[in-house]
Amino acid sequence: MSTTIAVAGKGGVGKTTVAAMIIRYLMENREGSILAIDADPSSNLHMVLGLELEWTVGDIREDMLAQVRQSLTARGAAMGSLRGGVTKREYLEYEIRASLAEGERFDLIAMGRSEGQGCYCAVNHNLREVIDSLSSHYRWVVIDNEAGMEHLSRRTTRDVQHLLIVSDPTRRGLVAAKRIGAFRHELDIQIENAYLVLNRLPTPEIPAAIQNFIEQELDFPLLGAIPADEAVTEFEFSGRPLVEMGANSPLYQAVVAMMERLALS
């Protein structure tokens, strides 16, 4: 049985950084293989993990549809086969598995660009089946979401055991976190647990105004806070993968503490 951890939040709050540190924690502290899913169209999780990314699911999808348009003209061709009798499901499964970027004890798949013009219903159905099947072979699945959580309902039918909603220590960030948290009730998948992660906190203590907002406005608890860390900026500008930060870095230690609170097993 696999455990899925999804990271969400508005753009720029550090979702990808948190997702990368979770993956590092799992590598160093938990047994089992890990699948990282980069669901953000900007596709930069590979950079903080120190991997090269050559091909995304979006690229594969568009390439397949281009082949369909070139080789099939019959009505309803989107439900048919490609040249050589290969079904779209078979094509997608082969190409997605081939596109996996391999790290130490983890693989990465990037969703890439959003859909273009036209109907993608049949393709998205096949994609959902392929990604669900692929994910089932991993002990841990970590999903770095786009700004919202729309992809969860379009790209997977998997239950999410732990949803971490990341916010910076601002009212705008917390309001966005509240909206994302409310949206989880509208999804067709089950989210067992939801938590707030407060990122880039500039002071050792959480300001009273922020603490009051969390307690009075949110229907999910605070899992933990990550202190502002100048080393993160230095790594970003140098291009070094964030997963290479020292084990004693405030960022990584804060994520370790939060993961221990989840009591993953």
> How much is the pLDDT for 217?
97
Query: Per residue in 85-105, pLDDT tens?
Result: 778 788 888 888 888 999 888
Q: What is the arrangement of strands in the sheet containing 140-144, beginning at the earlier edge strand?
A: 101-102, 106-110, 34-38, 140-144, 3-8, 160-167, 191-201, 222-227
Instruction: Report which of residues 54 and 15 the model is more confident about.
Output: 15
Instruction: Report which of residues 67 and 96 the model is more confident about.
Output: 96
Q: Hey, what long-range contacts does 249-256 have (CB within 8 A, 24 or more apart)? A: 250/226, 251/17, 251/21, 251/226, 251/227, 252/21, 252/24, 252/25, 254/224, 254/225, 254/226, 254/227, 255/18, 255/21, 255/22, 255/24, 255/25, 255/226, 256/25, 256/29
pLDDT of 173 > 80? The answer is: yes
Which of 207, 247, 227, 258 minimizes the C-alpha distance to 24?
247
pLDDT of 157 > 70? The answer is: no
pLDDT band at 71 (very low <50, low <70, confident <90, very high): low
pLDDT of 21 > 80? The answer is: yes
First-to-last alpha carbon distance for the chain, in angstroms, is 11
Query: What value does the mean pLDDT of the chain take?
Result: 85
Query: Per residue in 36-54, pLDDT tens?
Result: 999 877 778 999 999 988 8
pLDDT of 61 > 90? The answer is: no
Average pLDDT over residues 137-163: 80
d(CA 193, CA 259): 13
Q: Report residue 65 as tokens.
A: 């549809």
pLDDT of 77 > 50? The answer is: no
Please, what are the domains in the chain? 3-262 (3.40.50.300)
pLDDT of 203 > 60? The answer is: yes
d(CA 26, CA 50): 16
> How much is the pLDDT for 82?
67
pLDDT band at 62 (very low <50, low <70, confident <90, very high): confident
d(CA 18, CA 194): 15
Instruction: Report which of residues 7 and 146 the model is more confident about.
Output: 7
Residues recorded for the chain: 265
pLDDT band at 223 (very low <50, low <70, confident <90, very high): very high
